[in-house]
Structure formats: structure tokens, C-alpha cells
Structure 1
């Protein structure tokens, strides 16, 4: 059996509601310890009053359940990875269509989708919308997936000398999406036919665009400084830097940090055959709020419990809250038709390993955006 002394991946997720009134994103990371594969599902809800939070939960629930089924046999998944990922996205899109037909008041809701799926050192993904998938390698940050918004076209106009950089940075159509899951035809899908080969020391960052209130240079600086630290510390530092901005327009933030260890890229050894570990045993949840995170913020703390409860969750408060409350009860998988909840402005960092699998179902919100569908 092909085994290593270290986990193949070091994974943690960070979440924050930011300055928004509702949580309209959902994120989950599934990396069973000892398994050769894992994946992240991030859905960025949009539509505001038209139930963007419902859309993101529908997309996450459908994509997660389908992908979990296929990951029971990663060899079979890899043989048809692009086809499977596209079919899963189509299935989630069809579920949105059916929900909109039966609930006309939700007409116009939608969600972006980004799914990085890792098998050993091979990275597959599907991406629809503008949620970024970053790669940090050799001290440099780059974006792997396509940006399905107007931003690339506006930036091209700047490079061509057709638009002033300041005008481009504040252009009203900059965040206008040209592809999204809405229960209608999907104009653009980014799903490579071959996997991207990862290297030991690479850091993959799957995020909502709320993280992009930090510039790429600022994100790169954090990853450079803490590249040898655990993924939980990297996630904490990114959240701290975003909170320190104190931006009144701060979008909700959701992201997963994936550090690739030597075990994922080791060659010349026998690889495991047959199904990978699909479900690991549950264990107790420990919730901890360190002193350096619990003081300088401005709103009451909120802690997100992974499903199943497995890893420590760390949540900085946004208001003086000397005694953060524990959340010992695991949250269930989000039901597709969950109604919007009142504002709960907290943030959390959840470690996905070591020890058994972590499935973090943590809905978060992003800013409402207009959608331009190209036919």
C-alpha cells in the first residue's frame, strides 16, 4: 500500500460575513486524511432580494452530493473528470431551473461555481462566474481559472490605451457577470480537458471575490510570509488583513487554503488501487478563540461548526466579546430551500486536517451583481 508519514494536503477554510446583511455564499471542503484525493465546492450566491442565498445552497448541495459519489472511486473519476464535472454543473443548473419554476418569486437568483478537485498532484477544476482559483508557486500568485465578468475586457482596454486605469478600477460594469448558474443556458464554462500538475510547496487558494478586496500583491505578500506555516495560520492572516481594511462595503468572504505536501507528488512508489476513503469517522469538535483574534473587532463572535464535527474552528469577534461561545452541535447539510437568516457578522477558520474528514458547510454572502448573458 502506498503510504506516507504526512498528509498529502494541509487544508483550512476561512469565512466572514463582512459588512453584508445576508449570507449568500456556501463553501465546503472534503479532504479525508489518508485519502489520495479531495475537493472544494464554492458557490457565490447572487440576486439579493431574489434569494441568492437559496441559489448558493442549492448549487453546493447538489454539486457536493454528486461529487462525493464519484470520488468513491477516484480512478473512475479521473477517467472522465471533465465530463463528470460538466454534468454535475448542468445538474445543479437544472435544479435551479426547477426551483425557480415552482417558486416564481425567486426568478433572477443565481450563483457562481468553482470546484477544484485534487487527485494526488493533479488538479482538475470547473469554474463558472468570477470566483477566483489562485495558485501560489515560487513566490508568485497567479489565477488559474477564467474570470467570467467584464473585468478582463475592461483591463484589456486599459492595456490597449483605450481607458484610464482609474476609470477602469471604478467602472460600474466591472463586476457584471457574463456567465453564471441561473437555471438557463450557461454561456461560458471553464473546465480544462487535462489536469494541472501541482508541485510540492504549491498553495491553492479557492475563494469568493470578497477576498479580492485585498489586491493580488497583498495576498501574495501574506502567502510569501507564511508559506511554511500551517494552512490554518495562513487563513487567519488573510482574514485579519481583510478585517483590518475596515471597508464599509466589504463583501462576504469565503475561501479554502490547500497546501500541497511532498506526499502528493512523490513518484516511483506503488499507488493505491480501488476506492479512496469516502467517509471518515466523526470525532469531537473543539472550538478555540485565540487571544490575538478575539479582541480588536467590532461585532459579536459567530462560530461555524463543520459537518461532521471534526476540526477546530477559530472565530475572531468583531466587537469586544471576552468570552466567545462554543458551538458544540454539528450543522446539517444545507437544505436547498432554507430561508434567509438575519445578519450574523462573524468569521471563522476551520482546519480540514489532520485526522478524519472535514466537510465544512458554511454559507457566506457576496455583493449583488448584474448579469449579462451572452447568447
Structure 2
């Protein structure tokens, strides 16, 4: 099995800065590929600082490993969390900064994903798209606790408030999935700006159903921009070939 990768980020229509950051590393000792999307938050460009710091820390730490499993990947994320948290604590300008993270590490046909926050990850297989992440927005956490219904999450006025993020607290708890990959599978990582632009998961699937993966990603980002893209938008895809 081989991997084809494609990724792109765009600031969107209404944002001057791009607080999304994508980091990609391939052909490592510990993994065939690692892809990270981080969506930063905080004033005074702090979101850009947080997203770049956490994504670069993750790929650097993974690159330093001889082998990779779920436990080591959690350890890597903990180090990235500490890096952002300590940077925020040491600078009044960056106090309170943080970021979402969604990442995938692929090794020997197995994809391990971790996420913290509301940046989604999907598996596209045989024309079907499914979630391989957990939404850590405040209303999504309330729905899992049975306080509100799942149908109330999408339109909730606090749907952009995060119950979990990287770097905001000194500890972080991630959601992990592992998938044994098949020929033709796609792993798709996004920032929440894709959903925020009104692009559905079915549209994500349909736009990525073409031979040239980079063109497909570019067209998906263009669709987000055409829809108004009120936030930064980022997409990264790995296809098994």
C-alpha cells in the first residue's frame, strides 16, 4: 500500500489572519506519515502562535520516535500541550491562548487519529463517509451527558465554545481512534471552518472523489470560500493507493 497526501489552508473571506496551521511529515522511522491540523484561538495573534507551536511540536516529537503506538501518541500530545501552556503562562500577550488539534499517524496500514476540540476527522470508504473523531464543543459534551439532545448541538448558540482544547490547561485529554486501512480509503482532516462555511460531510465526500487529490482539496477549499467562509478553512487528506 502507498499513500497520496494533499492539503491546503485558506484564511477565508472575513479573517485577515490564518490561525489554522497544517504540519505534515512523511517517511519517518515511527510512521509512514503524520498529518496535523491545529485551529488556534486567542487575541494578539496568539491563535497563530498556538497552532504552529502545537503542530510543529507534534511532528517533531513523532519524528524522534523509533516506533509509534496510541500510548506514545498521547505522550506526544501531552508534550505539545505543555509547550503551548508554558508559552501562554510566560507571556502576558499570549495568556489564555490555545488550539484545537486533529491528527493522524499512519503506519503499516493502520491509521491512528487523535483529536482535541471541534476539528473533525473522517474516514471515506466505499463511497461512505463516517466520523473518526469526537466533538469537544461545550454543547456536544452536554449531549453526551444527556443534558441536551444530539439534534440540539448544531444550532446551539454556544456551539463554538470548547470544553477541551490544547494549551489552555496543564493537562489534556484526547479522543483516539484506530482504523485498519483498505485500498481506496481516505482519511480526511478539517478545521471547523469547513462546516462553518456550510459544506456538508456528503459534499466533502463528493468533492474528494476524483483522481487528482490536490485538485480535489483545492476545489473543496474553493467551495468553502464560495459559500462565504466566515472562518479559516483547512483540509488535509491521505488516500491509500
Shift of 1:67: 0.9
| 2:105 aligned residue (105, 111, 117) | 117
Within 5 Å, give how 1:89-108 maps onto structure 2. 89-108=77-96
Q: Which residue matches 2:238?
A: 258
| 1:239 aligned residue (206, 221, 227) | 221
* Cα gap change, 1:89 to 1:169, in 2 (>3 Å): closer
Tell me the SS of whatever aligns to 1:191.
strand
| 2:160 aligned residue (172, 175, 185) | 175
**Is structure 2 residue 184 aligned with structure 1 residue 184?**
no
Shift of 1:210: 1.2
CA distance in 1 between partners of 2:89 and 2:9 (Å): 31
CA distance in 1 between partners of 2:153 and 2:98 (Å): 26
Q: When the two structures are aligned, how many residues end up with a matched partner?
A: 236
CA distance in 1 between partners of 2:44 and 2:157 (Å): 20
TM-score w.r.t. length of structure 2: 0.87
- Greater RCO, 1 or 2 (C-alpha within 8 Å, sep 6+): 1
Q: Which of structure 1's runs of 4+ aligned residues deviate more than 6 A? A: 154-157
Q: Which residue matches 2:212?
A: 230
| 1:145 aligned residue (133, 155, 163) | 133
TM-score w.r.t. length of structure 1: 0.58
| 2:46 aligned residue (36, 42, 51) | 51
Within 5 Å, give how 1:196-345 maps onto structure 2. 196-212=179-195, 213=197, 214-224=199-209, 226=210, 229-245=211-227, 247=228, 250-261=230-241
Q: Which residue matches 1:87?
A: 75
Does the Cα contact within 8 Å between 1:219 and 1:238 map onto a contact in 2?
yes
Q: Which residue matches 2:116?
A: 128
Does the Cα contact within 8 Å between 2:44 and 2:93 map onto a contact in 1?
no
Shift of 1:31: 2.6
CA distance in 2 between partners of 1:164 and 1:105 (Å): 37
* Cα gap change, 1:176 to 1:8, in 2 (>3 Å): same
Shift of 1:36: 6.9
Shift of 1:232: 1.1
* Cα gap change, 1:233 to 1:36, in 2 (>3 Å): same
Does the Cα contact within 8 Å between 1:8 and 1:36 map onto a contact in 2?
no
Deviations 1:18-66 (A, max 9, x none): 0212121211122349x97111022110123471111112112211211
Does the Cα contact within 8 Å between 2:83 and 2:167 map onto a contact in 1?
no
Does the Cα contact within 8 Å between 2:85 and 2:170 map onto a contact in 1?
no
Report the structure, 1 or 2, having the larger strand content.
2
| Unmatched runs of 5 consecutive residues or more in structure 1 | 1-6, 262-375
| Unmatched runs of 5 consecutive residues or more in structure 2 | none
Deviations 1:128-154 (A, max 9, x none): 111111111111111101111135357
Tell me the SS of whatever aligns to 1:221.
helix
Q: Which residue matches 1:10?
A: 4
The RMSD of aligned alpha carbons is 2.6
CA distance in 2 between partners of 1:216 and 1:92 (Å): 29
Shift of 1:164: 11
